[in-house]
Amino acid sequence: MKGIVFTEFLDLVESKFGLEMVDKIISQSELESGGAYTSIGTYRFSEMLQLLGNLSNNTGISTDNLLLVYGEHFFSVLEESYPGLLNTYTDPIELLASIENHIHVEVRKIYPKAELPTFIVEEKTKSSLILIYKSSRAMHHFGLGLMNKTFEYFNSTATIVLERTKKDGSEVKFIINKN
């Protein structure tokens, strides 16, 4: 997993819960990296799971809710770092439908070894989208947070329903209806 995911996560934890919480969750985890991350480095996903789990245990907030908030936070990172990419689109449905064939292509140019989830467009209309998310990492609530902020970015709203199609969360269906 790319280091930017770790550095931004720890920045979020610091801003929401304080530097002491960052230190606490790093200390409680058995991290090969020792908790020292660079945005361009690559680290094991198991480290993110440990950090998330320890943050959840210390705050009483579910990992799904933490991932949702993190996804919303991460959108602002994308907005700030890659405004040209977002400005390519004028509609949130169009942007979300292009994740696999455009956005992930651009991400791989920057991070060639990034292990990204797969998004399959199952159905698309002007005001609705059904996306299938596939990933062994089961971070679909992170994706949900990004989707929420996508609609906000376009001054729009939507109802987004997440249906687990596999119990382990490795595959989910996002049913998106623009309001």
- pLDDT for position 106: 82
Shared-domain flag, residues 32 and 81 = no
Confidence of residue 85 (pLDDT cuts 50, 70, 90): confident
The percent helix, strand, coil of the chain (3-state, each to 5) is 55, 15, 30
Shared-domain flag, residues 161 and 119 = yes
* Residue where one domain finishes, among candidates 25, 46, 61: 61
* Residue where one domain finishes, among candidates 61, 80, 98: 61
Shared-domain flag, residues 76 and 157 = yes
Task: Report the percent of the chain where pLDDT is more than 70.
Answer: 100
Shared-domain flag, residues 72 and 150 = yes
- pLDDT for position 57: 98
Average of per-residue pLDDT across 92-111: 89
Q: Is the pLDDT of residue 114 over 90?
A: no
What pTM did the predictor assign?
A: 0.91
Tens of pLDDT, residue by residue over 153-167, are: 999 999 999 999 999
Shared-domain flag, residues 81 and 102 = yes
Burial class (CB in 10 A: 0-12, 13-18, 19+), 83: exposed
Shared-domain flag, residues 81 and 44 = no
Continuous segment of H or E residues that includes residue 25:
helix 19-28
Q: What is the DSSP letter of 91?
A: -
Q: State which residues form the domain around 53.
A: 3-61
Distance (Å, whole) CA 75 – CA 138: 18
Using the structure block, give the residue that is written with the tokens 């720890």: 10
**CA–CA distance from 52 to each of 48, 82, 119, 162 (Å)?**
6, 26, 23, 21
Provide the token pair at 24: 């606490």
Q: Is the pLDDT of residue 147 over 90?
A: yes
Shared-domain flag, residues 129 and 149 = yes
Shared-domain flag, residues 55 and 73 = no
CATH code of the domain in which 112 resides: 3.90.1520.10
Give the 3-state secondary structure of 131-161. Answer: EEEECCCCCHHHHHHHHHHHHHHCCCCEEEE
Shared-domain flag, residues 48 and 83 = no
Provide the token pair at 8: 């931004």
Tens of pLDDT, residue by residue over 28-45, are: 999 999 999 998 899 999
Question: How many domains does the chain contain in total?
Answer: 2
